[in-house]
Structures are given as C-alpha cells and as structure tokens.
Structure 1
Amino acid sequence: MFPNKIISSFNELEYSLYNYITQHANKVIYMRIRELADETHVSTSTILRFCRKNDCEGFSEFKVKLKLHLEKRAENNLKSTHHALSEFVERTLKGGFESYIQESSHLIAQSGSVIFLGIGSSGIMAEYGARYFSSLGKFSLYIKDPFFPIHNRLLENSITIAMSVSGETHEIINLIKKLKEKGSTIISITNQKNCTIANISDLNISYYVTEEYIEESNITSQIPVVYILESIAREIHRSGKRE
C-alpha cells in the first residue's frame, strides 16, 4: 500500500498523516476528509497531496484502495508446510530438476571457492548453505551485508550462489553484477525463472511454490531451498569420493 520510495518522499506533515492512517486504517476508511484533517491536525490540502503521492486522484479513491488493501490482508491465511512441500514436488521435482542439481554440483566441485549471497530469510539460507557445504568438505563463505568488501584475488575460479525468493532483490542484483564483472560464475536459486536474478545468472534453479506474505513480510517456505542446497552439497561430496 505504501512503497518505500513513496514513504521516503513524505514531508513532516505527511509522515504524521501516514502514521495515523497505518495505526487507524479500519477507522480511516469510513471517515470524511474533514474528519481526518481534524484528527491529524493537518489541512485537507495536505491530505489531498498525500493521496496524489499514493497514485489516487482524491480521498475517496484513497479510501477504496485502503479498504481493498485491508481486505486482502485479512484474506492471508497461512498454508500448511505440507502444502508448500506438495507444490514443490508436483511442480518441480517431476521435471528435469535433477539435471540442474548435477550441473551445479559439477561447476561447484571444479571451483576454487564458493560464496553464498542472500539477505533476509535468504540470508539465513546463505549462512546455512555455507555451513552445510563446508561440513561436507567444500569450504564456503556467506555474505549478508551488501557492502561487504570483496577483493579480486578471492574470486579467481569462484562460484557465487545467490538466493532470492522474488529474484528482484536490488542489493543482491548489485552484488551479482560486481562479482560477475570480476569473473565469478553465478548460480542463482529463485522461486521462478522470470526474474532479473535468474536472467543475469550463468545457471538458475527455480522451485515454483506459492509466495506468501503476512503484513508485507515475505514468509514463502524455504523447504525447497534447503532441499536444493543439501542435494548439491551431497552430490559434490559423493563425486569427490568417486574420484
């Protein structure tokens, strides 16, 4: 309802208005513009300017959008863990998924170093992946800080494993570009192939489960990511024993 780009453009009065609306949204959808002005101690012109910044021609349109937003949020019911697992099995594992596991394993096994990227829940997966790979004999590092310094000599013959549910995480996209320019091969793990991170990667593994949000927080299941990471790490370990 309120993208960060729009929020950052608010002035002091608009911030005050924004805070009131987010805290009393169920009340605001039934208020007249003059009532909201009195409650928030701002002018009606400030409210109209606020509405226009949020792509609404007036207060009436803003209330309609706010009501739809509240209804959509109320409809968000958590799916069972079994549902996410079933989706992954039905949509992904029945295809040629294993060939991506094999190809990724081969690339990583031949690399000199492995770097995991991710922020948020994907950052937790990056940390888990680095630890799991290291436990099975392929020493790896993880980066959750988009400003983490990376020197060229560490990227020689390296593989970067980038993780993002949406595939549109700007911080990860910028890191991928920098690492790719310095010669690192990029393997990405995303929820779908039709995304920026998949498009700029050398190899993409997509797992296709329904994305879920609660209070605008992405709570999409990470079960497929754990499966992918563990499958790749175990295949690398097995291939090392065969050699």
Structure 2
Amino acid sequence: MCLIFTDVPLDATAVCGENPPITDAGCSTRITGTVSDFSTRAPVEGATMKAAGALNAITNPSGATALASGTSDAMGRIDAVTDVAVNQAIAIIALVEGPGGYLTATGLASPIMGSIYATGTGIHDLWLVPQTSLDAWSTALGADPDILADSLPLGDAGGVVGFVRDATGAPIVGAVVEPAEDGSAAVIRYVAADNSIVADATTETGIFIVIGAAQTGEDFNATMGGSTIATGTAGSTNAAVFTLIMNGG
C-alpha cells in the first residue's frame, strides 16, 4: 500500500509500505496521516489520535472505543494499524487531542462495501483546533443574533469548523458555504484574520463555522460565482469539534 501522510499538498515523499495483517475476519486498516494545528496549519507533535466508528464517536466522543491509536511524531505524523478488520457503519473518525487543543474529530474513511474498509484510509490530513481559537470564535458568535445561546461555546456545545482551500493548501477567499438540502437548520459564518465573524463568504483565512449541523451528518457545498467548487459532509455533537475540509482546487 502507498503510505500517504498528507493530502493537500499531496505527499511527495509517499512510498510503498507494508500492508496491514490479514486475520480470519479480514484485513486490518493502516491509518497514516499528519496532525496539524487548525489555525496555523503547522504540524503538531505529541497529539494523540484515536480512530473510532462514527456512531460511537458522535454519541461518546471522549469515551469512544479505539479501533487504533497513536501519537504524532516531530513531523506531526501518525502511523497506526487497527487490531482487527474494521466493521463499522457510516465511517471511521479520527479523534485528536493535544496540549492547548480541544478534542477534534476528522473523518478518515468510508466503507468500500457495506461496512467493510480498505487497507488504508482516504483522508490523511488530521487536525487539532486550539482552545484559544474556539474561545475567540465563540465570543464573536455570541454577539450574532442568529446564533442561539445554547449553541455555544463551540466544542462543549458541538459545532463544525471548516476550511476551504486550493490545491496547494492555501485558503480560498470568497467562497460561500451552504447546506446542500433545503430545510437545514445549519447557520454558517466565516472567520476573519482578527477572529471576528462575518456572514458573507470566506475571508483570507478560508475558515468557516457551521452551527446546528445534523448530528449524523449532512452535506454542504462551497460555491463561487454560483458554481460549486467543493462538497463535503459533516455532523456535530457535544463535547467535540468536527472539521470539514473543502478542497476547491
């Protein structure tokens, strides 16, 4: 299998590596990736990653049963293998914790068939959202009349933090993120460089926040000039912040 540690920009150092072991129940899944600070996008050393089934992660994020776990190295890299073949509905999720960060959930992979998973994961960019960033954004959102008080603070009350980026990993300015389906209760706001909140479109940070996303997940589109440039799926639950990375280039 190809050992990929970053998706955007694509890992230029990827090499062939050993496949995970095969058991009577099937093949295990090898999880490779890089943990980055969500605000600075710098690699994070010493973060702990626990991979869990999506349903377990959204009902008990801090106590979810680990399918695999690992600690990021000096380059932010994680390399972990599930003990057994993964058999999970919906998806598997990376739950990342670290000093100064809030428990952050990022999707790793969806089943290739039924509830069966491939030997590797489809997503390799993992994230840790700094508590200071969540605090600043929660304070700014508290002044927004469209945001219900019980939707804050971010993290404790759930929420999704997202990033619209191009093929180099740079932020895309001017993207509008919207729920894909009519009738969604989600409210979307955008983060400026000074951590203030705007309602129109992504700023130079490329960061957006979704309040009120469905717990089991819903689809979102990022558009520019009326054309869709990226799509993604995210859900929300208390005691964790979920990420939604939208690749627009």
TM value normalised by structure 2: 0.23
TM value normalised by structure 1: 0.23
Query: Counting helix residues as a fraction of each chain, which structure ranks higher?
Result: 1
Specify the structure having the higher radius of gyration (Cα).
Answer: 1
Query: Counting strand residues as a fraction of each chain, which structure ranks higher?
Result: 2
